Structure 1
Amino acid sequence: MITFFSKLLLISFFLSIYSPSRLMNKSKHPLHVSTTEVNFNPKEKGLEISCRIFTDDFENILAKKFKTKTDLSKPSMQKAMDELIKKYIAAHLSFNVDGKVKKANYIGFEIDHEATNVYIEIADINSFKNLNVSNTILYDLFDDQMNILHVENGGFRKSVRVNYPTATQAVKF
């Protein structure tokens, strides 16, 4: 009798996970995370930065924040989306390199499957030992947002993770 209830419980669990309503709603995902990669390029004397954000979440926050229609995959909207992304990233991602605030320059974005990659750079960095990042990407949309930072400098890689509401990520080499 116990094995019958165990099997019934197991079947109920799988049905709840794989129910048609869950499978049809592919735009929802249970994990709210962004990843920021920072690579120091000594030849170019700068930081090359990419942010990876779920496209559906990113479109939702851009539409909400700027009160406009968004579609990151539509070529005819590329220029308008560039402007929105540039403003959003500037407001939610800032960098302090060795105690000095540095302005990041927006390069562009591209869609990669279910994520959007945003590219920015910081010029005129000869070297660095300390990087502080303030990252509030999607904090204005989710209270369970997690932001991960990966930093590569001189062949060494360090990673830091923060959860909402913590915004500051610090890496020392």
Structure 2
Amino acid sequence: MEKRNNITEFILLGLSQQREVEILCFLLFLLCYIAILAGNLLIMISITCSELINQPMYFFLSFLSLSDLCYTTTVTPKLIIDLLAEKKTISYNCCMTQLFTMHFFGGIEVFILTGMAYDRYVAICKPLHYTVIMSRQRCEALIAASCAGGFLHSFGQFMLAIFLP
């Protein structure tokens, strides 16, 4: 006998039942989201358009900003829209997609931060070998490993959510 899940959508209760509070939350979250978008785009553009992109720390920072931009875009727009919507629901497939992408980009951020810590370790502890150890190929490999690690983490979480209940 096959185990089937009959859930097709989730009903979101929201942050408040009062319309005025929901509008206030909408404005607050919208302003925060716009600030996050603008800040991360500004960081990425300023690093990409300058000579800083050749330095490993700024190379990682640019990708960290990109992953943060993607991370906040996975959930926040739905939250902002639902604050003003009359019917607050999310389909099962959309929920699982949000789960996967949120863990994917969150995992990438954690692994990029780990790569940045390794970069600072090499810069402080082995300053004479820094340029050899932190070559462009090594930085790109660390970014690729971060993406692979984020995918493996997200895939594991996704499989747990699908098959364990």
Which structure would you say has the larger RCO, counting Cα contacts within 8 Å and 6 or more residues apart?
2
TM-score (norm 1): 0.23
Q: Which structure dedicates a bigger proportion of its chain to helix?
A: 2
Q: Which structure dedicates a bigger proportion of its chain to strand?
A: 1
TM-score (norm 2): 0.24
